[in-house]
Protein backbone atom coordinates (compact mmCIF):
# COMPACT_ATOMS: atom_id res chain seq x y z
CA UNK A 1 0.00 0.00 0.00
CA UNK A 2 2.77 2.48 0.96
CA UNK A 3 5.92 0.60 -0.07
CA UNK A 4 8.17 3.67 0.04
CA UNK A 5 7.70 4.34 3.75
CA UNK A 6 6.91 0.89 5.05
CA UNK A 7 9.75 -0.19 7.32
CA UNK A 8 10.73 -3.63 8.61
CA UNK A 9 11.72 -3.22 12.26
CA UNK A 10 11.98 -6.99 12.76
CA UNK A 11 13.99 -7.65 9.60
CA UNK A 12 17.25 -8.17 11.49
CA UNK A 13 16.80 -10.89 14.13
CA UNK A 14 19.83 -9.71 16.04
CA UNK A 15 18.75 -6.09 16.40
CA UNK A 16 16.46 -5.37 19.29
CA UNK A 17 13.57 -3.00 18.76
CA UNK A 18 14.48 0.44 20.14
CA UNK A 19 12.58 3.59 21.06
CA UNK A 20 14.15 6.89 21.99
CA UNK A 21 13.37 7.98 25.53
CA UNK A 22 11.98 11.33 24.43
CA UNK A 23 9.40 9.53 22.27
CA UNK A 24 8.37 7.30 25.19
CA UNK A 25 7.94 10.41 27.38
CA UNK A 26 5.74 12.14 24.81
CA UNK A 27 3.60 9.03 24.24
CA UNK A 28 3.00 8.64 27.98
CA UNK A 29 2.19 12.36 28.39
CA UNK A 30 -0.15 12.51 25.39
CA UNK A 31 -1.77 9.16 26.17
CA UNK A 32 -2.46 10.32 29.72
CA UNK A 33 -3.88 13.61 28.48
CA UNK A 34 -6.35 11.76 26.22
CA UNK A 35 -7.77 9.68 29.10
CA UNK A 36 -10.41 8.35 29.50
CA UNK A 37 -10.31 7.99 25.69
CA UNK A 38 -7.87 5.94 23.70
CA UNK A 39 -4.94 7.60 22.01
CA UNK A 40 -3.06 6.40 18.96
CA UNK A 41 0.11 7.39 17.11
CA UNK A 42 2.17 6.16 14.20
CA UNK A 43 5.81 5.44 15.06
CA UNK A 44 8.60 6.28 12.66
CA UNK A 45 12.37 6.11 12.41
CA UNK A 46 15.06 3.98 10.80
CA UNK A 47 15.84 0.28 10.90
CA UNK A 48 14.64 -0.95 14.29
CA UNK A 49 14.93 2.44 15.95
CA UNK A 50 11.86 4.60 16.63
CA UNK A 51 12.76 8.28 16.81
CA UNK A 52 9.47 10.07 16.12
CA UNK A 53 5.72 9.74 16.65
CA UNK A 54 2.76 11.11 14.71
CA UNK A 55 -0.40 11.24 16.84
CA UNK A 56 -3.87 10.96 15.33
CA UNK A 57 -5.98 14.05 15.81
CA UNK A 58 -8.10 13.87 18.98
CA UNK A 59 -10.98 15.35 16.97
CA UNK A 60 -11.23 12.06 15.11
CA UNK A 61 -14.48 11.13 16.84
CA UNK A 62 -15.00 7.91 18.76
CA UNK A 63 -11.79 6.92 20.49
CA UNK A 64 -13.16 3.93 22.32
CA UNK A 65 -11.52 1.84 19.72
CA UNK A 66 -8.26 2.61 18.03
CA UNK A 67 -8.87 3.71 14.50
CA UNK A 68 -7.31 5.86 11.83
CA UNK A 69 -9.32 7.53 9.10
CA UNK A 70 -7.93 6.95 5.59
CA UNK A 71 -7.08 10.62 4.90
CA UNK A 72 -5.43 11.04 8.30
CA UNK A 73 -3.32 7.93 7.83
CA UNK A 74 -2.23 9.05 4.36
CA UNK A 75 -1.30 12.49 5.70
CA UNK A 76 0.77 11.03 8.54
CA UNK A 77 2.54 8.65 6.15
CA UNK A 78 3.28 11.50 3.75
CA UNK A 79 4.84 13.39 6.65
CA UNK A 80 6.95 10.37 7.58
CA UNK A 81 8.13 10.13 3.97
CA UNK A 82 8.94 13.84 3.76
CA UNK A 83 11.06 13.56 6.88
CA UNK A 84 12.99 10.73 5.29
CA UNK A 85 11.81 8.21 7.86
CA UNK A 86 10.18 4.82 7.62
CA UNK A 87 6.92 3.80 9.22
CA UNK A 88 7.94 1.30 11.92
CA UNK A 89 4.87 0.78 14.05
CA UNK A 90 1.60 1.83 15.60
CA UNK A 91 0.87 2.54 19.24
CA UNK A 92 -2.47 2.81 20.98
CA UNK A 93 -3.46 3.10 24.59
CA UNK A 94 -5.62 0.91 26.78
CA UNK A 95 -7.05 3.41 29.27
CA UNK A 96 -8.37 0.80 31.69
CA UNK A 97 -7.22 -2.64 30.54
CA UNK A 98 -3.84 -4.40 30.50
CA UNK A 99 -1.30 -3.97 27.69
CA UNK A 100 -2.55 -7.08 25.90
CA UNK A 101 -4.01 -6.93 22.38
CA UNK A 102 -7.77 -7.45 22.27
CA UNK A 103 -9.56 -9.61 19.69
CA UNK A 104 -10.64 -6.36 18.00
CA UNK A 105 -6.99 -5.25 17.88
CA UNK A 106 -6.06 -8.52 16.17
CA UNK A 107 -8.92 -8.27 13.67
CA UNK A 108 -7.92 -4.73 12.67
CA UNK A 109 -4.19 -5.18 12.25
CA UNK A 110 -3.07 -5.32 8.62
CA UNK A 111 0.67 -4.57 8.73
CA UNK A 112 2.43 -7.65 10.10
CA UNK A 113 5.90 -6.36 9.22
CA UNK A 114 5.48 -3.41 11.60
CA UNK A 115 5.70 -3.29 15.40
CA UNK A 116 2.48 -3.10 17.42
CA UNK A 117 2.65 -1.18 20.69
CA UNK A 118 0.18 -0.94 23.54
CA UNK A 119 0.46 1.57 26.36
CA UNK A 120 -1.72 0.68 29.33
CA UNK A 121 -2.89 3.08 32.03
CA UNK A 122 -4.78 0.44 34.01
CA UNK A 123 -2.24 0.20 36.84
CA UNK A 124 -0.34 2.58 39.13
CA UNK A 125 2.29 3.26 36.48
CA UNK A 126 1.95 3.11 32.68
CA UNK A 127 3.01 -0.16 31.03
CA UNK A 128 4.38 -0.16 27.48
CA UNK A 129 4.60 -3.39 25.51
CA UNK A 130 5.65 -4.20 21.97
CA UNK A 131 4.29 -7.04 19.85
CA UNK A 132 4.96 -8.65 16.51
CA UNK A 133 2.26 -10.34 14.48
CA UNK A 134 3.42 -13.80 13.43
CA UNK A 135 1.22 -16.45 11.81
CA UNK A 136 -2.03 -15.05 13.10
CA UNK A 137 -1.04 -14.14 16.66
CA UNK A 138 0.65 -11.33 18.54
CA UNK A 139 3.97 -12.18 20.20
CA UNK A 140 5.54 -10.06 22.91
CA UNK A 141 8.88 -8.61 21.79
CA UNK A 142 11.65 -7.12 23.92
CA UNK A 143 12.64 -3.53 23.29
CA UNK A 144 15.17 -1.06 24.55
CA UNK A 145 14.58 2.56 25.55
CA UNK A 146 17.43 4.73 24.33
CA UNK A 147 18.61 7.68 26.43
CA UNK A 148 17.69 11.15 25.23
ZN1 LIG B 1 -6.28 -2.37 21.98
In sign, the C-alpha dihedral spanning 137, 138, 141, 147 is positive
Q: How far is the CA of 79 from the centre of ligand 1 (A)?
A: 25
pLDDT (0 to 100) of residue 65? 56
Q: Where do the structural domains in the chain lie, given as residue ranges?
A: 17-146
CA–CA separation, 112 vs 138, rounded Å?
A: 9
Between 90 and 2, the more confident residue is: 90
pLDDT (0 to 100) of residue 42? 95
Q: How far is the CA of 131 from the centre of ligand 1 (A)?
A: 12
Q: How far is the CA of 66 from the centre of ligand 1 (A)?
A: 7
Residue pLDDT, tens place only, 62-104: 555 567 888 888 899 999 999 999 999 999 999 999 999 999 8
Residue 61 has pLDDT above 50, yes or no: no
Q: H or E stretch including 128?
A: strand 127-134
Q: How far is the CA of 52 from the centre of ligand 1 (A)?
A: 21
Contact status, residue 45 vs residue 51, Cβ threshold 8 Å: yes
Q: How far is the CA of 67 from the centre of ligand 1 (A)?
A: 10
CATH architecture designation of domain 17-146: 3-Layer(aba) Sandwich (3.40)
pTM metric for this prediction: 0.92
Amino acid sequence: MFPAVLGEPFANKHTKLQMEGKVVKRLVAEGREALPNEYTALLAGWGSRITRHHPASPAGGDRHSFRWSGPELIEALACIGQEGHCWLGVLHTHPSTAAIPSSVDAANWHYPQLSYWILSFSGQTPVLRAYQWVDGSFFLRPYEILPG
